[in-house]
Chains A and B, each alone.
Chain A
Amino acid sequence: MMRVDREDIFPEKVGEPRKWFSEAGALWPRLIELWLTAVVVAFFLIRVFGSQTGKRLLNGLGHSHFQ
C-alpha cells in the first residue's frame, strides 16, 4: 500500500492553507496542465476527428492503408 505523506494533506498549523489547494502546491499546476490538455484533446476528438471532414479524411486514410 502506498504511503501517504501526512504533511501533504494536513497542515501543521491551524489556519495555514492546505498545500494541495494552494497555488504554490503541487496539485494546482498539475490541474492546470490536465485541464488544458483535456480541452485540446476534446477539440481534436470532437471538432477535428468528429467532424465530417475529419471522418472523410480518416476513412480515406483507412482505405489507402488497406489497399
Chain B
Amino acid sequence: MRFLPAIFANVILVASALGFGRLLRSLFPENFSEIDRFALTLLGGLGLLGTTLFCVGQFWFSRFAIVLVLLPGVLLSVGIFPGALRKHRTLFTMGSPPILPLVVVSSVLIVTAIGGFAEPIGDMNSDAIAYHYHGPKVWLREAVIRPVPDEVLTSFPSVVETQFAALMSLGGTRAAGLFSFASLVSLLMIAASLATRLGLDGRGAWWVVALCATMPALYRGAYGGFIDVLFAGFLLGAARIAFDAVALRHYVLFGIFCGIAMGTKYTALISWVLLVFCCLLFSALGRRQSLPLLVKNLGISCVVAIVVCAPFYLRNWVLFGCPIYPPPPGLLRFFPATKLLPSVLQEVQHNVLETGRGLGRSIGSFLLLPFNLTYHTADFRGAGGIGLAPLALGPLGLFACRKDPFAIALALFAFLQMTAWFATAQVSRYAIHVYVLGAIFAVLGWQYVAKQGSKYARAVAAVVVALSVLYGLYMIVPDRVENMHAAVSPAFEDKRRHEETPYLESFDYLNAEPSVRKVLILGPYVAPFYSDKPYVKPLGRWGEQTIPDANDLQAVLSQSRELHVSHVLDVFPENGPLKLPENSPGLTLVFQGKDQRVYRID
C-alpha cells in the first residue's frame, strides 16, 4: 500500500509527458521509425513538462497548480495510448527479442523499480539530500519555485527537479525515487533508436540496451536523485534529430531538444555548441541542402533552443544578476552585478575543480582516456566503469561504419564532447551520452567481428560482451541491495533511517510538535531536507549568508523573532561559527538527543 502513491504519481507524470510529447510529433521526420517516435515523444514530453512546471512555478506551485499543468498532458495522452501500445510493440517485435539481453535488461529494470521505492536517506554529501530533492521540497512548501537561499546549487537549471517536485506532491518522496525507472527507460529507448538508425537489427538494438543498462557509470546517473541519465537522453534525442534534419521543422525540433538539455544542466551549453557545429559540418559536406539554407535553419534552431531554456537563465539573471548561477569566474567580467559572496563562489569553484580533476589534463592523460575510463573509473567517480565493450569493440564498430555519415557525425560529436569534458569537469556522470554511443559502436563492432573475424575473434568478442554485462551486474546489483531491502522491509527501512539520517530524532520531534512554526538551523552541514516545517539556516554549506547583517550568533538570534522562528536546532560537533553556549538566555531546552538539542524561543 505504501508504494501505491508513488506508482500513481509516476504513471500520471509519464502519461502527462507522453501527452506533451505528442505536441512534438508533427515535427518528426516522416522516415522516423516507431521506436524513434516513442523515445522522442517520451523525452520531449518530459522536457516540455519540466519546463512548463518551472514557468508556472515562478508564480504558483501548489499541488493544485501542478495538477492543472499535468492534466492537459494526461488528456492529450489518452488518445495516443492504444495506438502507442500497439505501435511500440515494434520494440519487441523487431525480430523475437533475444532472451539473454531481455533477461539482463529486465533484471536491471526490476532492481531499479524495487530500489526506487526506498525512502531517500543520507547527509549533505548526498546531492539528492543537499539539493536535487531538497529544492523541490522547499518549493512545494512555499508554493513557489525560488532558489533556496542556504543552498546555492538549487539555482541550477531544473527541468528534472520540477518533475521531482510534481512527483513528491502527488506521491511523496518515494515517487521521486521511483522516477529513476522512467528516466532509465527513456535513455534505453533513445539508445535503441540510435542503434536502429545506425543499422543494427532488433537483436543488436537489444544488446545495445543491455550494455547500456549494465554500465555502472551510466546506471549511477539514474537513481538517488541524479538527473544525468535523463540529461543524456535529451542530448541523444537532439543528436538523433540533428544529423537527419533536412526540413525547417526538424531543425525546430532539434532546437527544442537542445533547449530542454540546457534547461536541465549547464554542461549542455557546451554540448549544444558541439552539436550545432557537427550538424553544420556534416550537412554541408553531405550537400543535403544549400549552405545559406542550412545556416538559416540552424540559426532558427538556435533561436528555438535559447527560447526553450530562457526561463531558467532569465530567472537567475533577474534574481542574481547572472544567467549562469553560481557563475564561473570568467563570466563575472560580463555580469559584475552578481550577488554571490566571493567566498561562496570560491568554495563552489574549488568543489567543481576538486570533483572534476579526474586524472589530470596532460596530453598523456587525454590519450589514455579510453583506457582509464575503462579500467580506472573510480578516478572519475565512475562507480564501476563502463564495461569492456566500448574499448574493445567500439573502434571496430567505428571502422565498420566509416562510410556512414550519420555514424561519423555521432563519432565526431562524441570525440569533441569528450575533449570538452576532459578540459572542464571530468566527472563520469557528465559523459553518459558518450557512453551510450560507445555501447552502440561496440555492438556494431561485435557485429563486424561476427561477420569478418576468425572463430577465435568471435569467441573473444563474445567474452568481452559477457564480461561487460556480468561485471556490470556484479557492480550494480549489490549497490542496490540495501535500497531493495529497505523497500520490501519496513523494519529494515526504519533501522536504516535511524542509522543514516543525521539528527533524525530532532527532526522527528520538530516535525511532530504542533507548536513548531519555523526552525532556526544553526549548523551549516545539517540537512534541512528532513524538516517538514519552514526553517531558516543563516549559514549554508558553501558559506551562503541568508540573513543580511547577521554574521554572529547574537545577530542571528536577535533577528529570529522578526523571522517568526519558534525553535532552534543546535547540533554538535558541527563546524561553523554559530555555536550556541550552554544555558542561553531566552531559550528553553525542549528536546535533547545524542549530539543534538532543540530549544524553544521564549
Contacts and interface: CB of A to CB of B under 8 A. Distances in A.
Contacts of B463: 40
Contact of B457 (A36, A42, A43): A36
A42 to B, nearest CB: 6
B449 interface: yes
A32 B446 CA distance: 11
B420 to A, nearest CB: 26
Contacts of B388: 39-40, 43
B218 interface: no
Contacts of B457: 29, 32-33, 36
Contacts of A39: 374, 388, 391-392, 464
Contacts of A33: 453-454, 456-457, 460
A34 to B, nearest CB: 10
Nearest to B376: A46
Interface in A16-67: 23, 29, 32-33, 35-37, 39-40, 42-43, 46-47
Interface in B384-403: 385, 388, 391-393, 395-396
Contact of A29 (B374, B375, B454): B454
A32 B449 CA distance: 8
B471 interface: yes
A42 B467 CA distance: 12
Nearest to B453: A32
B460 A36 contact: yes
A25 to B, nearest CB: 12
A37 B393 CA distance: 11
Interface residues of A, number: 13
Interface in B459-481: 460-461, 463-464, 467, 471
Interface string B541-579: 000000000000000000000000000000000000000
Contacts of A42: 375
A37 B452 CA distance: 17
Contacts of B391: 39
Contacts of B461: 36
Given A42-B375, A46-B375, A23 B452 contact: yes
B375 A37 contact: no
A3 B456 CA distance: 28
Contact of A40 (B449, B453, B454, B467): B467
A36 B391 CA distance: 9
B452 A40 contact: no
A43 to B, nearest CB: 5
A47 B464 contact: no
Given A29-B453, A40-B460, A35 B471 contact: no
Nearest to B392: A39
Contacts of A36: 392-393, 449, 457, 460-461, 464
A1 to B, nearest CB: 29
B250 to A, nearest CB: 35
Nearest to A36: B460
Contacts of A40: 388, 392, 460, 463-464, 467
Given A35-B392, A36-B457, A39-B392, A29 B464 contact: no
Q: Which of A23, A33, A36, A37 has the most CB of B within 10 A?
A: A36
Contacts of A29: 452-454, 457
A43 B375 CA distance: 7
A36 to B, nearest CB: 4
Contacts of B449: 32, 36
Nearest to A44: B467
A31 B375 CA distance: 21
A21 to B, nearest CB: 12
Interface of A: 23, 29, 32-33, 35-37, 39-40, 42-43, 46-47
Interface of B: 374-376, 385, 388, 391-393, 395-396, 449, 452-454, 456-457, 460-461, 463-464, 467, 471
Closest 6 CB pairs of A and B: A39-B392, A36-B460, A46-B375, A33-B457, A32-B457, A29-B454
8 contacts: A29-B454, A33-B453, A33-B456, A36-B392, A39-B464, A40-B467, A43-B388, A47-B375
Given A33-B453, A33-B457, A40-B464, 8 more contacts: A32-B454, A39-B392, A40-B460, A42-B375, A43-B374, A43-B471, A47-B375, A47-B385
